[in-house]
Structure 1
Amino acid sequence: MNKHDLVQKAAEAMQKAYVPYSNFSVGAAVMTSSGHIYTGCNIENAAYPVTCCAERVAIFKAISEGFTDFKQLAVIANTERPVPPCGSCRQVMSEFFAPETEILLANGNKDVTALKMEELLPYSFEANDMSHET
């Protein structure tokens, strides 16, 4: 599967977004190392803090099916520039993605920017940071 195919899967997921408050639809597609594809869309709630982003929906769907080894993620929205994930999504991604995992950022024109996880969130908070040893 090439990067445009994964972006297309994300664009299809974007059509299912539940966004009655912001009208800002986002779609995501994550590919596991074994080639399985999981998609997600953003799902809003009147209580904004419980809203869930497309990237996390896709990742959590994959994890709930037993996949925790990821190869690539694509995210798309109808934005001027290729849409970047929010900070919460970046932190979740850093928990499950290797530093070299490719992240494809896209917009409605299908402009694509490819970054590695380590470029998207350098110096991320990790499990090792919770060590009580000094």
Structure 2
Amino acid sequence: MALVVPEDLLNAAIKVRLAAYTPFSNFKVGAALLSETGRILVGANVENSSYGLTRCAEQSAVLAMVSSGERGFEAIVVYTDTDIPTTPCGACRQILYEFSPKAHVFSVASSGDVLHSLVSDLLPNGFTLDDPLLKT
């Protein structure tokens, strides 16, 4: 049975995408996550002339979650104006994994195509605070 994209998260991701700051690529991304306490937190991608300082929408949403005192989420919707869904980059996969490895990720394209994954499927064996390698 396929899961349905949470409509409230999709609408929030579509809306926040318009706030993206993308003067270099004009590739706007919106993300909305559902925290473990039921709050919707959003983020848009923010580019910077020092490219390494650019932040993805997924990262922005997690930063909003942490800044609001939350420490985990159940699902995240990532929305792009593309024909095919755009999945989180490697850095975003690790950030998502650290907070909620079992959360649902819905990558949604404006064409209506959806790709559903769990964070742990996108990044098998990601690092967590419980990782023994981090405790040496």
CA deviation vs aligned residue, 1:99-127 (integer Å, no higher than 9, x gap):
32111111112322211111111121233
**Cα distance in 1 for residues equivalent to 2:125 and 2:84:** 24
Greater Cα shift, 56-65 or 3-12: 3-12
Equivalent residue for 1:131, pick from 119, 132, 135: 135
Structure 1 residue 75: Cα displacement? 0.4
**Structure 1: unaligned runs, 5 residues or longer:** none
Residue identity in the other structure for 1:87: G
Q: Which runs of 4+ in 1 moved over 6 A?
A: none
Matched residue count: 131
CA deviation vs aligned residue, 1:44-73 (integer Å, no higher than 9, x gap):
111100011101111111111100121111
State TM-score, norm by structure 1: 0.91
**Cα distance in 1 for residues equivalent to 2:33 and 2:8:** 11
Counterpart in the other structure of 1:95: 98
Counterpart in the other structure of 1:111: 113
Partner of 2:34: helix, strand, or coil? strand
Structure 1 residue 4: Cα displacement? 2.7
**Structure 2: unaligned runs, 5 residues or longer:** none
Counterpart in the other structure of 1:10: 13
User: What pairs up with 1:40-119 in 2 under 5 angstroms?
Assistant: 40-97=43-100, 99-119=101-121
Residue identity in the other structure for 1:130: L
Residue identity in the other structure for 1:125: F
Structure 1 residue 7: Cα displacement? 1.4
8 Å contact from structure 2 (residues 58, 88) kept in 1: yes
8 Å contact from structure 2 (residues 83, 113) kept in 1: no
Partner of 1:109: helix, strand, or coil? coil
Counterpart in the other structure of 1:121: 123
State TM-score, norm by structure 2: 0.90
**Cα distance in 1 for residues equivalent to 2:22 and 2:72:** 29
